[in-house]
Structure 1
Amino acid sequence: MKLTLLNLTLLLTSTYGYVTNNVKFTETTTKLPDDNISEESANKKTSVNVNESSKSRSNYIYLEDVLVGLKLQNWTEEEMPCLNQTLVLIRSLQNFTLWAVWEWDSVSSQPLGILSGNRYQLGNFDQCMNPPWLKTHPEVQSQYCLAEVSLERTDNAKKRRLDDIKPYENALDFIQHHTPNYRPLSYLTWGACVPAVCQPRSVERLVSAVLARSHLGAAGLRPRIAVSEPCQQRNSPREFDGVFYAFIAVMVVLAIVCLICTIITARKRENDNSLSLDICKAFCLKENSKDLLRMQKEGIEVIYGIRYLTICFIVMCHQAGMLNSGPISNGIGVDKELALSPFAVFLLHDDVFVDTFFVISGFLMAKTITSYKRLPNIFVLALKRYIRLVVALAVVIFYVCAIFPYTGSGPLWERFKTGETGACRANWWVNLLMLSNYVNTDNVCIVVSWYIPCDFHLFVLSCITYALYKRWRYLGLAIASVLSIASIIAPGVVNYVNNLSAVQLFTFDFVADPRANEQFQLAYIKTHTRAAAYIIGFFAGSYFNTHKSEKDLMLSKKRSLVGACAAVVIMLLVMVSGTSYLWRNYSPTEGALYAALNRPVWAVGLVMLILCCSFGKVPLLKSFLSWYPWVPLSRLAYGLYLVHTVLIIRNVGIARNPVYYDNLSVFMSSLSVIALGTFYAYIIWLLAEAPINNLFMLLVKRRKVPLKPSAPDNFVESQPGTSCAKTGNTNTGYLHDNIKENLNISSKM
């Protein structure tokens, strides 16, 4: 009997020890209720603690599965420090040690929202990069890495189109199928917070082990993972290179010179005609600001409003496209909206807005060059045009190379920084030589800068053709006719031969990486495929300059209104018809025909609008587009065109997590980019554009080269005889010169 009692006592003791030794968290152990607690309360508390204990146990099992998955992989000798540190991390995580939980908590253990188009699983970048013990405990330092994940099926099921999404269909079919012009759901960008000793190959193993324990791994999707970018560490030194200091020095020197010249100019007498004063006037901030306010009343004032409103539309479209290419949580919804929403008309085929600038540039070029009684040196005209275009471009390229890398941070920042700064540091010389739309187009510096060499090429070609026309009339007409016909045929031929889409649609595939887009390189940015709009604008400008003084050509109010309405309808039809190629089938011949005609038709519509407003009276529209505040803004449109993408890319590149895309947010963000970009354009104008252009005009004047009227600018109309290039004359573009003294306030703009 005693022996039996002894055995029973030992059994109870050992059982108690076994239970208590396996409890990881004492807070979740179930305790007997006190005597003063009701039975119902005790049962409720016991139930909660049991659930918490079960949850902790499931988390424990999950970590054990990850641990087993890591050990089963083939680790090389170089990767062993990473494996050992990861094992320490997981064991510390099981004990809920702060540093381990801090690091693990900054990683997405499960992909979220991939069915709605959320590609970016970025976790918490700042939590990973900024632990409180960063400087005191380097042994637990972490790093942030980006892994590109491609989800592949293990059963090789047949892909099929899901026209009608049904709740009981296989989700793998939905994920795996890539609908044309929609973003793929089988690609993820995964942010991982891992020990600092881990190499890229080791990071791939860690992400693979985590994904294998997720619902995607359980569903039969096999991840293919690649870490191709260097991981980011908080203690990595941010060193400023020589290019950074060079940019700061140049801009500071320019600012000081402009300030000193402004002070000197203000103290000099007006009748001082010395060369030194002319040079000071070239840098004078006050005089150059006055130049922005000068308005040339020649009957085409509507171009001021058209120019600035067009660049505003372009900024909004680029804001929408670049935001769509970044981390957004509702990507599939955005793709559907672009395919079905009325807003798609202004977003998918918005590239015709750029043709507006080609039309205006050709129009002003013809208006100016046909005004010469004796054609000046073509080389001087081309050089002036080159300087006008290249100064602001050089400043922006310099900024992207020198300052842009230090303006942000984030999980995607290194990728954006490398893409923009790397391209500019490698190909800045191509841009300055006006060859960026033909040379190294897959790595072009500042994607939107393709327009600038196109404009310059067409300007030079127009000068040569017109010079031939003035010397040998029929030869010039023949060459102009051949160029005009070729400019219309070339886009269609390029489209047909390369089997391209009828129009460059701004879908996800394009906005995600425009540099790698085949149609962008072959057709979108080439001078020979974008010349038609410029040539049509040139003919319209020549016609206007020849007949502007003929009263017989003046249109009645009714005719001008009908013509303006017809012009707007034509341009809308071009945009609507282009969008239709997103969702309907068409033959290659039809696509080539549309590619050849859509830009010329748009240009014809715009020319009709300008001429109806110039030769007639279009109520409200003409007054609005000729509104005086458009004058200074339109002269800053070129600078805004150059800087706006830099601002947008910076805003998208510093994103920490996906945002919800909606049209109102895009509109509000666009307004801020337009306002800030216009301000930066003004600074560039004061410190670089205006001074250098004025110095060139001063040099031309001293050499007595006839250059009046001056050559037009692409976004800014011709600027003959600016004050800083004159001697002893006051500026003729000041606000006082454009507003009458007896000004009557009217509600009409």
Structure 2
Amino acid sequence: MAKYWIELILLIWINLCIILTIADDNTVDILPSSSLDSLDNDEIIRVLTNDNESTTENFTSELLLNELKNTVQKFWSTSVILKADKANPYYEKFADKISIETQRLLEIVPGFDPGAGNVSSSCKKHSKIFQRELKKLSLWALKMYDATAKMPSGLLNGNVNQFGDFDECLSVEGSEGIRGKYCLAFIQLNVDQSRPDLKHLHRLVQSHYLFKNNYTDLGHRIPRFGTIHWAVCIPEMCTANDVEIALHNTLEKYVDGTGINFTFRVEREMCQVQNTKSLPRETIIVGLFFTGLIILSISAAIFEYYNVNVSEIILAFSLKRNYLKLVSLKQSNDDIPTLHGIRALNAFLLILGHKSMAIIFIPFINRTEMSENLGHPWTVIGRAASLYTDPFIMLSGLLTSYSMIKQFNNNGGIDVKKEYISRFFRLVPTLIALILFCTYILPQLGSGPMWKLVINHHAENCKKSWWRNLLFIHNYCGFEKICLTHTHHIGIDTQLFLFSPIMVWLIYKWPKYGSIILGGLAIISTGLRYFVAYYKELNTYVYFGASTQQLFDTANFSYSLPTHRLTIYIIGIFIGYLLRIYPKEYKMNKFVIKLGWIFSSLATLSAFFGPANMGSINYIYKPHHGAIYNAFAPIGWCAIFAWIIFLSHTKNTNAWISRFFAWRGFIIWTRLSYAIYLTQFPVFFYNVGQTRNPHHFAFIRLIVNIPELSFIIITAVILTLLVDMPFQNIKYYLLRRKREVTVINKANKIE
């Protein structure tokens, strides 16, 4: 019985809230207060129950509860109707005044007519209803009008991207089944090039052309900076093509005969309605998969805690075991401590570089001011983002060489099969988990004006080409079509790794001739980078006025190709070889050490600050600038790190920079680095997709976003504990078991 009384109290409270809400809105007097004063208790109950004969004497609490439920439903349906405001209930009473007020409002702030021009018949029909109800000031039509972007202030400061009110638009439910549809139109603003006055204004509006693009360029990975994003709220029956036609007809009358013209593009995917569909079956299945991983990890930890006799493969998922491994500061005798700090530094810089690209998607009220600030030399930290991946390639070559030469010394050869299996377990499971999450889970976790552009577009790419990622050939398939474009580095590294046994064997077997061959390959790779960048006019440095197409071409023809990244990988192989052949107590000449510091420091500083002039707001692109940077900057940037690694490992330095990079705490970052690399772009794009209004640009606050960085680390920790480390444990278990079987077989043969 207590349950019924609790429900009764809750329902009475809900009724009171609804009645008060309706009273506050002053929309319709359902039951005037004067009538309430004249009703006694029995009459109130009869009103609530619609029973003219029943009284309180035979009315049980259970019956009252059921009747109150029906009352709540009636009140709720009434409130929904009132909220929807299918028509203005006061129009007939104040028709003349409303007409005057509407006319004045639309004269001051003209509304967008989605039915303008030769649009479809259904769009034309619903647009007429919208226009009719707007003139009557019906609330739903006012919301649709209100949610559409209007001419803002600050146009000369770059405040041209207007998202309107996304949520208000999608909430519209109007007359005759009309629902709101939110469309984000892409508008290209052009001016008469013979008019210097208009050109100057155009430059300010377009924020000094930080990036140049056409409105037809893809915008899911590199922002359409030069394209205006303008939101319109329209009836659901209108299509993207209808919006293009209506925009053309609306703006043509304002710009006809001027030196200004517009071109439009409205993509079907960028028109959104309120999502009322249930979750896709694939999302549910993938969600169950991740739920199963969590349950398995917790269960394995419980099994391990209570010493339950289960398979070692199940215990590999133990949260307790993997957490202790993650936070452990133990280092093996064969470890190279400075590698962890170098990896952490470049990973942090890479996050800042990637973040600087992601924020360009966001609309800013002071975008022109932002561009002027980004024209200073210090912004090289974001523009040189391509450099920060090169040390990872060098470290990959170094560790591969360092490990394989040890096998040559101990066993006289390399177990290539074991190396490839180890690489598979290191990369593939975590990559699969990320692809599944970003393809089927992430698109369901939010919404926003650009959500489908930066989230759903990547998900659709993954549905088509996920298998290329797992074969590590996705970096050859066009940067525009890659599933999770930031994973191109994994393809490059794996392809170089496949040929690493040959390269290591050459330098180990014939050090002199092997060095000549590898050195020749490095020179050829450097030459390729130079000539391709020069003749195709590419540039890995993001300079002022770089076009979207040029950035895509740079990625496709140079940056994502292993032949163009081979130089750095070979440098890593050489360093790994030197660390093996020179003892840890090897003493170098002090003069040589000083000379090495000077040259490596100058090379690194030249690579980092040398192209700073290309970041100037007035820079004019020259192909040989881009070619020199593309060819030699990676080598220069990695020089200081290579020198620190060699000196520290051979104990020829104890400088502060060496001690800093060798700090033991960086080993935790190393364990997280793969997951951090994978998760940062989904986090960045999630926040971009959720953006609903223009921001004010402040560099430090936006770039060093502590909550965002924290969330990247948290997601990386989760991915590492649930997927990365468990499969690493499985790898070690399988390889150890294989060695044990091999030893037993050898012993049996001897017997």
State TM-score, norm by structure 1.
0.76
After superposition, the Cα gap between the structure-2 partners of 1:107 and 1:213, relative to the gap in structure 1 and judged at 3 Å, is farther
Alignment match of 1:570 (pick from 600, 603, 608): 603
Decide which moves more: 116-125 or 445-454.
Answer: 116-125
Residue 190, structure 1, aligned to residue 239, structure 2: no
- Give the alignment of 1:158-237 within 5 angstroms: 158=194, 171=201, 179=209, 181=211, 187-212=227-252, 219-230=258-269, 232=271, 234-237=273-276
Counterpart Cα distance in 2 of 1:170 and 1:632? 52
Asked if the contact 2:377–2:613 (Cα under 8 Å) also holds between the matched residues in 1, the reply is no
Counterpart Cα distance in 1 of 2:621 and 2:177? 62
Structure 2: runs of 5+ lacking an equivalent: 1-91, 215-224, 743-751
- Give the alignment of 1:552-571 within 5 angstroms: 552-553=587-588, 564=597, 567-571=600-604
**Per-residue deviation, 1:683:** 1.9
Residue 689, structure 1, aligned to residue 720, structure 2: no
Counterpart Cα distance in 1 of 2:176 and 2:276? 15
Residue 116, structure 1, aligned to residue 151, structure 2: no
Deviations 1:123-159 (A, max 9, x none): 111111124xx3x855342211122222344xx4426
Partner of 2:318: 284
Residue 243, structure 1, aligned to residue 282, structure 2: yes
Partner of 2:476: 438
Alignment match of 1:659 (pick from 678, 695, 698): 695
The SS at the match of 1:661 is coil
Counterpart Cα distance in 1 of 2:679 and 2:207? 38
Partner of 1:504: 541
Q: Which has the higher contact order (CA 8 A, sep 6+)?
A: 1
The SS at the match of 1:145 is strand
State the percentage of identical aligned residues. 22
Deviations 1:689-746 (A, max 9, x none): 2222222222222222999xxxxxxxxxxxxxxxxxxxxxxxxxxxxxxxxxxxxxxx
Alignment match of 1:329 (pick from 362, 365, 380): 365
Deviations 1:382-432 (A, max 9, x none): 221132122211111111111011111011112223321011111111011
- Give the alignment of 1:691-710 within 5 angstroms: 691-704=726-739
Letter in 1 for 2:542: L
Residue 97, structure 1, aligned to residue 138, structure 2: yes
**Per-residue deviation, 1:593:** 3.7
Provide the aligned C-alpha RMSD in A: 3.6
Counterpart Cα distance in 2 of 1:130 and 1:218? 39
Counterpart Cα distance in 1 of 2:236 and 2:621? 54
**Per-residue deviation, 1:560:** 6.1
Partner of 1:600: 635
**Per-residue deviation, 1:114:** 3.9
The SS at the match of 1:243 is helix
Counterpart Cα distance in 1 of 2:610 and 2:688? 31
Asked if the contact 1:288–1:690 (Cα under 8 Å) also holds between the matched residues in 2, the reply is yes
Counterpart Cα distance in 1 of 2:451 and 2:417? 43
The SS at the match of 1:617 is coil
Alignment match of 1:130 (pick from 165, 171, 175): 171
After superposition, the Cα gap between the structure-2 partners of 1:680 and 1:230, relative to the gap in structure 1 and judged at 3 Å, is closer
Counterpart Cα distance in 1 of 2:463 and 2:574? 39
Residue 627, structure 1, aligned to residue 663, structure 2: yes
Counterpart Cα distance in 2 of 1:492 and 1:654? 40
Asked if the contact 2:404–2:414 (Cα under 8 Å) also holds between the matched residues in 1, the reply is no
The SS at the match of 1:552 is coil
Asked if the contact 2:112–2:232 (Cα under 8 Å) also holds between the matched residues in 1, the reply is no
Counterpart Cα distance in 1 of 2:530 and 2:583? 35
The SS at the match of 1:659 is coil
Asked if the contact 2:478–2:556 (Cα under 8 Å) also holds between the matched residues in 1, the reply is no
Counterpart Cα distance in 2 of 1:470 and 1:138? 80
Decide which moves more: 526-535 or 691-700.
Answer: 691-700
Partner of 2:684: 648
**Per-residue deviation, 1:217:** 6.5
Letter in 2 for 1:238: K
Asked if the contact 1:423–1:444 (Cα under 8 Å) also holds between the matched residues in 2, the reply is yes
Partner of 1:266: 305
- Give the alignment of 1:444-593 within 5 angstroms: 444-470=482-508, 476-501=514-539, 503-505=540-542, 509=546, 517-553=552-588, 564=597, 567-583=600-616, 584=619, 588-589=623-624, 591-593=626-628
Counterpart Cα distance in 1 of 2:513 and 2:200? 68
The SS at the match of 1:434 is coil
The SS at the match of 1:150 is strand
Counterpart Cα distance in 2 of 1:174 and 1:151? 12
Residue 415, structure 1, aligned to residue 450, structure 2: no
Asked if the contact 1:143–1:231 (Cα under 8 Å) also holds between the matched residues in 2, the reply is no
Partner of 1:151: 189
Asked if the contact 1:104–1:193 (Cα under 8 Å) also holds between the matched residues in 2, the reply is yes
Letter in 2 for 1:682: V
After superposition, the Cα gap between the structure-2 partners of 1:284 and 1:354, relative to the gap in structure 1 and judged at 3 Å, is same
Letter in 1 for 2:604: M
**Per-residue deviation, 1:477:** 4.3
Asked if the contact 1:144–1:194 (Cα under 8 Å) also holds between the matched residues in 2, the reply is yes
Letter in 2 for 1:665: R
